[in-house]
A and B are shown apart, each in its own frame.
Chain A
Amino acid sequence: MPMIELKHLNFSYEKNKPILKDVSLNLGEPGEDVVGIIGPNGSGKSTLFLNLVGMLKPTSGKIVVDGQPLKYHKKALNQLRQKIGIVFQNSDQQIFYSIVKDDIAFALHNLGLPEDEIKNRVDRVLEELDIVSLKNKPIQYLSGGQKKRIAIAGILVLRSEWLLLDEPTAGLDPDGTKRMISLIKQLIGRGQKIIISSHDMDFMYEVCDHFYILRDGQIVKSGRKQDVFLDDQLLESSKLTQPWLVRLHDKLHLPLYNTAAELFADQHLAAEIANLKKDKE
């Protein structure tokens, strides 16, 4: 079983100003394909991600990947980053070429793969992300949502076991968010393991199956949907809110639905509401 374990990880840029405090996580447990790290701005989500891919080194504690503690020399880091791909929040900062297909191929050229393999992988990823039509487009004329897809494609070509997405819905319009949800579902479908950091509660509720709540650099709660979202007070004190589906359950005592589609497909509920309306009339 592929695993990433964090053991009592501490991190700080300056002494006495810890960003991450005693963080312990087990990522990759069976049935936890999409792990969500939820926390408000400044809670340490991005710092945690940078530690996971060896770009920052923990002040103390350990990161163990597949039973091996992380090593920080170049070769080991190279291997780690083929195993764990990361897509950052700002797309413009991760796109270096002016033409879409050149940029997506960048990491593969760095790996030194043969040309036809590179071409194959790029074409595959373009199809998967439904962006074949952008292949030869210059980057600067793309929309934010399109750039996001290019940034993800540039990492997906590495075919890493793990995919880290830092705030993947930041700056996306509703359609972009919808596409992001279906992309993530499609990726899980083919066995991709994903870790997402975000404070977009409805989005996280819909796509993740295990959650960690991060507050001021500490994990204050972890578990599955029903474990983490029902404690409204904890969420509130972590500067977060309940997803609207959970609120319906918590405040109006409707059943807890996993997705909006599930709610609207509930015939029983629809019938009850119809009855209520009739009574009123």
Chain B
Amino acid sequence: MLSIDKYAYSNRILTWRPQIKGLIWLLGIILAFQPILWIKGVLIIVAVGHTLYAAHLSVHQYLKWFYAILPFILLSIIGIVFTMSANKQIIYYPIRLFGYYFGVSKTMLPVGLHLGVQVFAAVVCTYWFALTTPFQQIIITLKSCHLPNLMIEEIMLMYRFIFIFIEAFEQIYRAQKLRFGYKNFRLSLHSSAILAKMLFEQVMVNYEHMVHALDAKLYDGEFKV
């Protein structure tokens, strides 16, 4: 079973008003994007510390949450700091490639690192919000922001079905792994392709069943939120 939002339902600040939590999150994001670096550092420490305390999380569990997003952050920073130029002077550790120099740009390195800290601070704030606010409260927050119903409806349905989707994914993946479907790279590629195909087929079948269920419940094109 998934525990994505288990913490959100059993944390120390569960009873805080969701709007307040929303505001604190917004404040955090603003602090993350303001230009002074040391404020960002303080923000990260405070946010991480409070998340660990409020959600009863161990450091190890918390770090696991970064597995999914770390590749994205690293890739974007790498994309920013690495450069290619005819001028050797502007690059740290230049490597000659096709008549050009390739390496870490002297001007872009601080920009990239600054951006990294900024993103990290924003992510940490968002984790704080996600780990302390149950979904119901998030919906209340969105509603008090007067976001369009259609959008809230969409978010609500995505949240509901993401669990079903991930469960289906896990079941197929487990069954494949059990029969050595991921033994080597070639097999892994093949198995992932089948996995994607099966998920797609299941989505189509489930869609049909859901249309029937919606009909039975007299669905009229709108979900009340």
Q: Please tell me if B69 contacts chain A, counting CB pairs below 8 Å.
A: no
Given contacts A107-B218, A138-B9, contact A94 B213 (CB under 8 A): yes
Q: Please tell me if B206 contacts chain A, counting CB pairs below 8 Å.
A: yes
Given contacts A96-B160, A98-B135, A111-B218, contact A90 B1 (CB under 8 A): no
**Could you give, for residues 133-144 of chain A, a 1 whenever the CB lies within 8 Å of some chain B CB and a 0 otherwise?**
000101111000
Which chain B residues lie closer than 8 Å to A88 at the CB level? 209, 212-213, 216
Stretch at the interface among A77-85, A170-178, A212-220, A256-264: A77-85
CA of A187 to CA of B135, assembled, Å:
34
B2 touches A90 (CB 8 A): no
CA of A82 to CA of B136, assembled, Å:
29
Which chain A residues lie closer than 8 Å to B164 at the CB level? 92
CA of A50 to CA of B206, assembled, Å:
16
Those of B140-175 within 8 Å (CB) of chain A: 156-157, 159-160, 163-164
Q: Is the interface of B mostly helix, strand, loop or mixed?
A: helix
Q: Please tell me if B210 contacts chain A, counting CB pairs below 8 Å.
A: yes
Query: Which of B134, B156, B214, B217 is the most central at the interface, judged by chain A CB atoms within 10 Å of its CB?
Result: B217
Those of B209-225 within 8 Å (CB) of chain A: 209-210, 212-220, 223-224
Smallest Cβ-Cβ distance to B159: which chain A residue: A98
Those of B177-225 within 8 Å (CB) of chain A: 206, 209-210, 212-220, 223-224
B217 touches A155 (CB 8 A): yes
A82 touches B218 (CB 8 A): yes
Expressed in whole angstroms, the minimum distance between the Cβ of A11 and any Cβ of chain B is 15
Interface residues on A, range: 20 to 34
Given contacts A53-B216, A141-B1, contact A93 B224 (CB under 8 A): no
Those of A48-76 within 8 Å (CB) of chain B: 50, 53, 55
B1 touches A93 (CB 8 A): no
CA of A214 to CA of B159, assembled, Å:
40
Measured CB to CB, the residues of A under 8 A from B are 50, 53, 55, 77-78, 81-82, 85-88, 90, 92-99, 105-107, 109-111, 136, 138-141, 154-155, 158
Q: A77-B215, A93-B209 are in contact. List 6 more A-B contacts (CB 8 A).
A: A96-B157, A97-B156, A106-B217, A106-B223, A110-B219, A110-B220
Top 10 nearest A-B pairs (CB, nearest first) are A94-B213, A107-B217, A109-B224, A110-B218, A93-B209, A140-B163, A86-B216, A98-B160, A93-B210, A110-B220
